Structure 1
Amino acid sequence: MLPDPVLDRSVRFEDDAVLILDRRVFPHRVEWVAARSDVEVAAAIRDMVTQSLGPCFAAAAGLVLVARQQVGASPESALAALRTAGQRLTAARPTNNIVRDVVAAVMGELSALPTDAGTGEIVETASLAAAAQDEYYRARSRALARHAVALVDDGARILTHCWMDTYLIEFVRAADQVGKRFRYVATETRPYLQGARLTAHTLAEMGQDVTLITDGMAAAVLSPFSALGSIDALVTAADRVSMDGHVFNKVGTLGAAVAAHAFEVPYYAFIHAPDPQALKAADVVVEERDGAEVLSTQGIRTASPLVTRGHYPAFDVTPPRFVTRIVTDRGAFEPARVAEYWDGERA
């Protein structure tokens, strides 16, 4: 039995606060940020307290928190406050659509309530809907992981970039269940070092063989001249996939994908589903963060004091021709055919 990693449950709920594990300082320090309003939950998402897929759990808990704070208010006022909170949480970081979808699911349950529902019923409905979304999300991640593991041979060496969160944890578990074991190479992921602190830590915590490299080493490691040994697959999460097969993920993914393509290494991008609201790549907003964030690492300035300007697109866009398969909870698709994921919904 593999140990459960700390990051598998990084959002907790208390009566008056959402507790969010601060991934900016983990694992050097284990600190929980207490968010006592939807404004503070949104700020935690925007300020990178929680990253990758963690915001979906934080957003769901944030809606429950707001619902509890409406006890005693009129139902109309309570629902209006929840709608405002949902908009605020969704807008915190625009590229990943998971918060949008979780908010829509919870608000959909609330909108189905009878018009004479009291605030107690609103709180109960929001709580049940948030819990259902948590389990639904984890179940879909488990299904995705089973499809992904089937694509990779036992003993393979896998290169990954940034922090895949629940996808990675379930991928390791799924491999263990079928008797496969992989070796991992993780990029450090500048400037927040998610790969060095979150990915590599969690893999080691789960007893996996992991080697850390800097971001600039990815192409060299993928090449046939690498002293590390051949890489059998590049595997990353995707923050969003458009219906035309473009993959949006942490900046640096594109470079690794292009190198993998050049050296004939398959690239598998993980996501529950392509986004039906993004028909093409141009429909997705690529988040631009403050360029000053690249001038420092872990609170220590690494750039020369003479350098005052940085550039930080948080994500990049990998065209379909550099992606071997997009792995979803319904199976693996060639990028050009990923829109077929939704065919059953349209029938």
Structure 2
Amino acid sequence: MEPVLADSVRLTDEGVLVLDRRRFPFEREWVLCRTAEEVAKAVEDMVTQSSGPYFAVLYGMVLKARTLEHLPFEQARQQLAATAHVLENTRRTNNALRKATAVVLEAVDEHRDVSRALDGARTGDERYRGKSRALGEHTAALLPDDATVLTHCWADLYLTETVKAAQRRGKRLKFFCTETRPYLQGARLTAETLIEMGVDTTLITDGMGAAVLQSGEVDALVTAADRVTMDGHVVNKVGTLGLAVAAHAFGVPFHAQVQAPDLNAPTAQDVEIEYRDGAEVLQVLGRPSATPRAKGLYPAFDVTPPRFVTDVVTDRGVFRAGELDEYYEGEQR
């Protein structure tokens, strides 16, 4: 049985159903987005995170295409491209959303028919899941048979596929999860899903990571990456950098997971870091956690330099930071 969060975005006749990850696991509430604009708002408002926005954008494009089928192709294509731009900019640091819109537009262009948007979305869905399975297999192969893993934030299908691959190999994993302020994705999403999959799971606060790495209990730090630049910088949920530096200091390998390094980001300077409203760090799950007279700062992502990254695990295998060009060998750029 698949974990609940492995299927948290669904296309229906009425619209796109998105499981509200802000409330999970305390409530299992689905948000119905009837238009592409409502999908964009749901992504911006963090109704869904990690790979959730990728699937939401795939099917948000289908919703828009449904409204354009009566128009001449060129006019419909122009409007669909405008919607793609809006959807892509809901979360600018992660380049997965551009991949989602591109696969839909490719299907539309191939047939010069906006009604083929659904074909593109299905291709994108299957492609993402297939790459995640391959990535999970490669990650599981790196881990000892009785590995204790520290992870940060919510790695979504990368995490669940790694666990499934390890279980198929007979490996018994244990996890430490950081709570991941301010949305507590690690506490709510990661820990709940790991326990759902039968994994021994211990939750720690964000400030405990270095001490747990120092303890010698951890065999590997494993996180997702929202983007990896071609020169090996890992861009991920803020807090990843501190854990990677601590892991390096205490001799613990850091395996960063991403389907592919980003050809559009040669260096870290080519990645825009999203800054969210600082007021979000002054509360937890909608309740104040600090004096309202304080200012908050919330860079949603940080950048880990390649010297603190042991390797990058992709769907095509494992690469050192200086080897990422090899991912694309044999492809036309």
Output the TM-score relative to the length of structure 1: 0.94
- 1:16–1:65 CA contact under 8 A, matched in 2: no
Match of 1:109 in 2: 107
Match of 1:239 in 2: 226
Match of 1:77 in 2: 75
Q: Distance in 1 between matches of 2:13 and 2:82?
A: 21
- The reply to whether residue 26 of structure 1 matches residue 24 of structure 2 is yes
Three-state SS of the structure 2 residue aligned to 1:344 is coil
TM-superposed CA distance for 1:14, in Å, is: 1.4
Match of 2:205 in 1: 214
- The reply to whether residue 273 of structure 1 matches residue 257 of structure 2 is no
Q: Distance in 2 between matches of 1:341 and 1:258?
A: 25
- The reply to whether residue 249 of structure 1 matches residue 236 of structure 2 is yes
Aligned amino acid, residue 29 of structure 1: E
TM-superposed CA distance for 1:74, in Å, is: 2.6
Q: What is the aligned length?
A: 333
TM-superposed CA distance for 1:180, in Å, is: 1.0
Match of 1:188 in 2: 179
Q: Distance in 2 between matches of 1:42 and 1:32?
A: 16
Match of 1:303 in 2: 290
Match of 2:95 in 1: 97
- 2:182–2:283 CA contact under 8 A, matched in 1: yes
For residue 145 of structure 1, the aligned residue among 113, 121, 136 is: 136
Q: Distance in 2 between matches of 1:305 and 1:39?
A: 32
Output the TM-score relative to the length of structure 2: 0.98
- 2:103–2:123 CA contact under 8 A, matched in 1: no
Match of 1:293 in 2: 280
Aligned amino acid, residue 139 of structure 1: G
Three-state SS of the structure 1 residue aligned to 2:330 is helix
Moved more, 267-276 or 66-75: 66-75
Q: Deviations over 1:164-195 (max 9, x none)?
A: 00100111111111111200000000000000
Aligned amino acid, residue 152 of structure 1: L
TM-superposed CA distance for 1:43, in Å, is: 1.1
- The reply to whether residue 322 of structure 1 matches residue 308 of structure 2 is yes
Match of 2:248 in 1: 261
- The reply to whether residue 132 of structure 1 matches residue 118 of structure 2 is no
TM-superposed CA distance for 1:221, in Å, is: 0.3
Question: Unpaired runs of 5+ in structure 2?
Answer: none
Aligned amino acid, residue 191 of structure 1: P
Instruction: State the Cα RMSD in Å.
Output: 1.1
Q: Distance in 2 between matches of 1:296 and 1:333?
A: 39
Aligned amino acid, residue 93 of structure 1: R
Q: Within 5 A, what are the aligned runs for 1:47-62?
A: 47-62=45-60
- 1:38–1:88 CA contact under 8 A, matched in 2: no
Question: Unpaired runs of 5+ in structure 1?
Answer: 115-120
- 2:230–2:266 CA contact under 8 A, matched in 1: yes
Identity over the aligned pairs, expressed in percent?
56
Match of 2:114 in 1: 122
Q: Distance in 2 between matches of 1:84 and 1:259?
A: 43
Q: Distance in 1 between matches of 2:69 and 2:92?
A: 31
Moved more, 68-77 or 43-52: 68-77
For residue 196 of structure 2, the aligned residue among 175, 186, 205 is: 205
Three-state SS of the structure 2 residue aligned to 1:275 is coil
Q: Distance in 1 between matches of 2:250 and 2:104?
A: 44
Three-state SS of the structure 1 residue aligned to 2:175 is strand
Q: Distance in 2 between matches of 1:203 and 1:334?
A: 28
Q: Distance in 2 between matches of 1:105 and 1:4?
A: 25
Three-state SS of the structure 1 residue aligned to 2:303 is strand
TM-superposed CA distance for 1:339, in Å, is: 2.1
Q: Deviations over 1:211-235 (max 9, x none)?
A: 0000000000000xx3xx5100000
Q: Distance in 2 between matches of 1:28 and 1:59?
A: 25
Match of 2:40 in 1: 42
Q: Distance in 1 between matches of 2:320 and 2:249?
A: 18
Moved more, 16-25 or 255-264: 16-25
TM-superposed CA distance for 1:46, in Å, is: 1.0
- 2:154–2:186 CA contact under 8 A, matched in 1: yes
Match of 2:329 in 1: 343
Aligned amino acid, residue 255 of structure 1: G
Three-state SS of the structure 2 residue aligned to 1:162 is coil
Match of 1:117 in 2: none
TM-superposed CA distance for 1:72, in Å, is: 2.2
For residue 8 of structure 1, the aligned residue among 6, 9, 12 is: 6
Aligned amino acid, residue 38 of structure 2: E
